[in-house]
C-alpha cells in the first residue's frame, strides 16, 4: 500500500477536471454505463447514506443546535477525513475537513492532531498550565464526537512528545485566538517535518511526510465564528435576508491558481527567473494543485535534506522539477472571523469534491430549502390566541404543499451529495447518480473526487440572547 501511495505521489498528485468537463463526459458516455448496469433507488440510498453522521446538542445554552455530516469516497482508500469535537474546559466547538493527496496518511494524521493543537492554544493560560502540571496529553482538551480511536502506540508516543513541547512552549505566552490558530497550523507542520527527519526509518512517519493534505477548520464560541483554511476546501455561511431569501457568504479563500493574490504571493517569494516554472499547468512546480498544504515536505525541505532523505530513499523522481529555492509550499492558513447574528442559520464546510459540482449559492439554497421543508415534518403547532377555521385551513394547506417537497434525505449533507451527483435543471435524475456511483475504480477519480460535507446549524434563539 505504501509503495502505491508513494508512486501516486509522483504520478498522480491531484487529478482535477472541471465540473463542465465531467458533465460533458456524462452526456457522452452515460448511455453506455446505464445500459450495462444501473443501481436501484434502494442501492443508491444505501451507498449515499453509508457514512452519514449527525449530532444534536441537547443543551439549549449553546450556539449550535447540531450538525450533520457525510462522506462519499472516490479514492480507495478515501483520502478525505473529518473530525468534530467539543472543548472540555469551555462551551466551544471545533470541526474540520481534511483533503489528502498522494495517499491518505497526512490527512488522517492532521484530522486528529490539528484540532488538538488549536484547542490547546485556545484555552486560557491558567487552565493550560494546570493541565500541564497534571501531565496532560493531546486529548486533554477536546471531546471528539465522531472518532474514539487513536494512533498506534509507536507513533502516538512520538506525537505526544511533540505536543508536550508545543504546550510548554505556549504556556506562558498570551495570544489572540487568531495568533493561536495560526501558530497551531505552522507548529504542527514543523513538528511533522522534525518527526520525519528524526524517525526517517519509520515507514508510517515518512508516509505522512511524503503525502499532503489541505484543511478547513471552523471554531465556534459564543457568537465568534472563525474559519481556518490552508488549501482548497471551503466554508460557506448560509443566512436569510430581510425577505427570507437564502444568501451565502464565503468564509474561506481557496489556495489554488484561481486565486490571483495567492499566485502573486508565491511568485514574489522566488526569483524572477523562476516565474515560468514555480507554477506551471496550474500546479505548483507543475505537480501540486493546492498552493498551500500540510505535509508534502518534498516541496518544503532544502536541497541538502532532499538529497539525504528523499532522493537516497525514493529515487530522483521524488525531486520536483526546477527545485531551486525551497520552500515552495507552506501550511500557513488564512483565517476569517465572523460574528454570528440571529440571521445566520448554518455553515457548510466541504472538500473540493463537492465544490466541483455545486457553487456556494447552490449549496446554501439547497440546505436552506432542505431546512424549511423539514419544518413541515414537525408536529402542527397553532399560533397563540384566537384562530379562525379559515386560518387553520390555510396552515394545513401550506403543510400539505410542504410535505410534497419533503426531501429524500433527512441528513442535509447527504441531500447535497445527492444533488451534486444527480442534480439537473429538472430535479434529481436517478440514472445520473447511478452512473457516478458505478464507475469502475480505475477511472472513477477522473469523474468525481472524494466528497466530504459537514453542515453546522446555529441556534438563533440563543444567539439573539447573546446579541
Ligand atoms: Mg479533493
Domain residue extents for the chain: 16-255+329-461
Q: Which residue carries 505566552 as its cell? A: 173
Q: pLDDT at position 13, please? A: 32
Q: Are 67 and 55 in contact (CB under 8 A)?
A: yes
In the reported structure, the alpha carbon of residue 333 is separated from the centroid of ligand 1 by a whole-number distance in angstroms of: 17
Phi/psi at 363 (5° precision): -65, -45
The Å distance, Cα 356 to ligand 1 centre, comes to 9
pLDDT of amino acid 388: 86
The continuous run of DSSP H or E covering 325 comes out as none
pLDDT value for 192? 98
CATH superfamily label, 16-255+329-461: PPM-type phosphatase domain (3.60.40.10)
Nearest to 82 by CA among 71, 96, 68, 93: 96
Q: Which three cell numbers stand for residue 250?
A: 464565503
Per-residue pLDDT, 289:
95
CA 9 to centroid of ligand 1, rounded, Å? 15
How far apart, in whole angstroms, are the C-alpha atoms of residue 215 and residue 230? 5
Ligand 1 center to 176 CA (angstroms): 31
Element (H, E) at 447: helix 444-447
Query: What is the pLDDT at residue 122?
Result: 98
CB under 8 Å to 366, separation ≥6 — which residues? 358, 412, 415, 416, 419
DSSP β-bridge partners for residue 235:
349
Nearest residue to 199 via CA among 149, 150, 157 = 157
From the CA of 351, how far away is ligand 1's center (Å)? Answer: 6
- Compute the distance from residue 307 Cα to the ligand 1 centre, in Å: 30
* Separation of CA 212 and ligand 1 centre (Å): 12
How remote is the CA of residue 97 from the centroid of ligand 1, in Å? 10
Query: Which residue ranges of the chain lie beneath pLDDT 70?
Result: 1-36, 375-379, 401-405
First to last CA, the chain: 52
For residues 160 and 382, what is the distance between their CA atoms, to the nearest angstrom? Answer: 56
* pLDDT number for residue 378: 64
Ligand 1 centre from 449 Cα, in Å? 5
Distance 317 CA to ligand 1 centre (A): 24
Please, where are the H alpha helices in 171-214? 177-198, 203-210
> What stretch of H or E contains 6?
helix 2-11
Residue 131: all three cell numbers together:
493541565
Distance 75 CA to ligand 1 centre (A): 10
Please tell me the distance between residue 347's alpha carbon and the centre of ligand 1 in angstroms: 19
State the pLDDT at residue 11.
24
**Spacing, Cα 354 to ligand 1 middle (Å):** 8
For the chain, percent of residues with pLDDT exceeding 70? 90
Residue 340 cell numbers, joined: 454570528
Q: Measure 291 CA to ligand 1 centroid, in angstroms.
A: 13
pLDDT tens per residue, range 204-222: 999 999 999 999 999 999 9
Ramachandran region of residue 230, left (φ > 0), alpha (ψ -120 to 50) or beta?
beta
Amino acid at each position: 500500500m505504501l509503495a502505491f501511495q508513494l508512486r501516486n505521489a509522483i504520478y498522480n498528485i491531484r487529478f482535477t477536471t472541471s465540473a463542465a468537463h465531467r458533465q460533458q463526459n456524462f452526456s457522452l458516455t452515460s448511455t453506455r454505463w446505464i445500459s450495462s448496469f444501473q443501481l436501484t433507488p434502494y442501492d443508491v440510498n444505501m451507498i449515499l447514506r453509508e457514512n452519514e453522521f449527525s449530532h444534536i446538542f441537547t443543551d439549549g445554552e449553546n450556539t449550535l443546535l447540531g450538525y450533520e455530516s457525510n462522506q462519499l469516497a472516490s479514492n480507495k482508500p478515501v483520502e478525505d477525513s473529518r473530525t468534530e469535537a467539543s472543548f472540555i474546559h469551555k462551551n466551544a466547538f471545533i470541526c474540520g475537513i481534511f483533503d489528502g493527496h498522494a495517499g491518505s496518511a497526512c490527512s488522517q494524521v492532521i484530522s486528529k492532531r490539528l484540532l488538538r493543537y488549536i484547542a490547546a492554544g485556545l484555552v486560557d493560560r491558567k487552565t493550560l498550565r494546570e493541565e500541564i502540571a497534571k501531565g496532560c496529553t493531546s486529548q486533554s482538551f477536546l471531546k471528539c464526537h465522531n472518532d474514539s480511536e487513536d494512533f498506534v502506540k509507536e507513533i502516538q508516543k512520538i506525537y505526544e512528545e511533540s505536543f508536550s513541547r508545543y504546550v510548554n512552549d505556549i504556556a506562558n505566552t498570551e495570544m489572540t485566538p487568531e495568533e493561536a490558530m495560526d501558530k497551531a497550523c505552522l507548529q504542527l507542520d514543523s513538528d511533522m517535518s522534525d518527526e520525519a527527519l528524526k524517525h526517517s526509518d519509520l515507514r508510517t512517519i515518512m508516509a505522512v511526510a511524503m503525502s499532503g493534505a489541505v484543511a478547513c477548520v471552523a471554531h465556534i464560541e459564543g457568537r465568534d465564528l472563525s474559519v481556518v483554511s490552508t488549501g482548497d476546501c471551503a466554508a460557506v455561511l448560509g443566512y436569510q435576508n430581510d425577505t427570507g431569501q437564502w444568501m451565502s457568504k464565503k468564509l474561506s479563500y481557496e489556495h489554488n491558481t484561481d486565486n490571483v493574490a495567492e499566485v502573486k504571493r508565491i511568485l514574489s517569494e522566488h526569483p524572477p527567473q523562476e516565474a515560468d516554472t514555480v507554477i506551471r499547468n496550474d500546479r505548483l512546480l507543475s505537480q501540486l494543485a493546492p498552493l498551500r498544504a500540510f505535509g508534502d515536505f518534498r516541496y518544503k525541505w532544502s536541497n541538502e535534506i532532499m538529497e539525504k532523505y528523499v532522493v537516497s530513499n525514493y529515487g530522483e523522481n521524488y525531486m520536483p522539477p526546477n527545485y531551486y529555492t525551497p520552500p515552495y509550499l507552506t501550511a500557513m492558513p488564512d483565517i476569517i472571523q465572523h460574528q454570528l447574528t440571529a440571521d445566520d442559520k448554518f455553515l457548510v464546510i466541504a472538500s473540493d469534491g463537492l465544490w466541483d459540482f455545486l457553487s456556494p449559492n447552490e449549496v446554501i439554497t439547497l440546505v436552506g430549502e432542505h431546512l424549511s421543508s423539514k419544518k413541515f415534518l414537525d408536529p402542527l403547532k397553532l399560533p397563540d390566541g384566537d384562530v379562525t377555521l379559515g386560518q387553520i385551513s390555510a396552515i394545513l394547506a401550506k403543510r400539505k404543499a410542504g410535505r410534497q417537497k419533503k426531501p429524500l434525505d433527512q441528513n442535509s449533507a447527504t441531500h447535497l451529495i445527492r444533488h451534486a451527483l444527480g442534480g439537473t435543471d429538472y430535479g434529481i435524475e436517478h440514472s445520473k447518480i447511478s452512473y457516478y456511483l458505478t464507475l469502475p475504480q480505475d477511472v472513477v477519480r477522473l469523474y468525481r473526487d472524494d466528497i466530504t460535507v459537514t453542515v453546522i446549524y446555529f441556534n438563533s434563539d440563543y444567539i439573539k440572547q447573546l446579541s
